[in-house]
Amino acid sequence: MRQERGPAVNPYLPMRARVIGTRIETDDRMLKTIDLSPAGLKVPEGFPFKPGQFCEISIFGRGEAPFGIASSPTEVGFLRFTVNRAGLVTAAIHRLEKGDEVGLRGPFGKAFPIDLFEGNHVVVIGGGFAFTTLRSLVVYMLDKQNRSRFGGITVIYGARSPGLLLYREELTAWGRQDDLDLYVTVDQGDQDWDGLEGFVPDVVARVSPSAKGTYAVVCGPPIMIKFTLPRLLELGFQGDQVYTSLERRMKCGLGKCGRCNIGHLYVCKDGPVFSYAQLARLVLDD
């Protein structure tokens, strides 16, 4: 593996990155967070990215897979990824320990339209482990250098059970902040849970965020998105006010291999962030 600087030199050549931290996120141990430090590069100066983008992580002898960046550009010194153990590559990532090396390509894809969000309210709606890139967005907007650029920030996040919530310490800290409205829900609580119970789309209806001057970002399981989008439309959101991030068999990250196309668009290059209006037009075109 050459020690190059990534896409500017050859986008297919991974750079080395060292694991500088790991943490199991969920009680079922299926979700693990790793923090990476790209060799020879400072983050974010030497590895500029925006919330919503993704990287390809490769494990020697196992393969490569795409993962959304969970850290924010405002966090210095590391790139964070939270990985669901679901196959050969992700199982190998779960075996990584501090000090191990991986291959890293990226960042790839289009980010959340932060410039568009500026001066407006933002509602962030997430479910399950799809909350990773939403964490990046929320941390970015809450940063003291950025907070005044946005109106009200509302976060609605749900999981099947309390033990499957990601970033629980951060959720607790966010819950204490007065510049963020946080609603955390689980499908079914346990004896220690004193928060909301119910599905994310139902909580969205209960919270009823105003559509006026507001953008919504929705990431989660397809079934959650399917039932959340109609709720937002009922509240008055238009298609160009709602954004989501798709994961569709991305491979090369460059729109070349043809594995992730939807109609004439490639999820890895033209997305993974799309507006609901864009996606609706794709359905009509088909």
3-class DSSP state for residue 136?
Answer: helix
pTM over 0.85: yes
pLDDT tens figures, 147-159: 999 999 999 999 9
Q: Cα separation of 55 and 109, whole Å?
A: 9
- Strand duo 54-59 + 101-108: pairing: antiparallel
What pLDDT is stored for residue 83 in this prediction? 96
CB atoms within 10 A of CB 125: 31
| CA proximity to 163, closest of 131, 135, 186 | 186
Q: Cα separation of 94 and 34, whole Å?
A: 9
Q: How large is the average pLDDT for residues 237-248?
A: 91
What pLDDT is stored for residue 259 in this prediction? 82
pLDDT bracket for residue 223 (50, 70, 90): very high
Mean residue pLDDT of the chain comes to 92
What pLDDT is stored for residue 30 in this prediction? 96
Q: Is the pLDDT of residue 2 over 50?
A: no
Q: Is the pLDDT of residue 17 over 90?
A: yes
Q: Radius of gyration (Cα) for the chain, nearest Å?
A: 18
What pLDDT is stored for residue 284 in this prediction? 54
Q: How large is the average pLDDT for residues 245-251?
A: 79
What pLDDT is stored for residue 3 in this prediction? 46
Find all residues with CB under 8 Å of 32, minimum gap 6, and list them. 22, 23, 24, 25, 82, 83, 85, 93, 94
| CA proximity to 152, closest of 124, 173, 171 | 124
Does residue 9 or residue 138 have the better pLDDT? 138
pLDDT tens figures, 79-123: 999 999 999 999 999 999 999 999 999 999 999 999 999 999 999
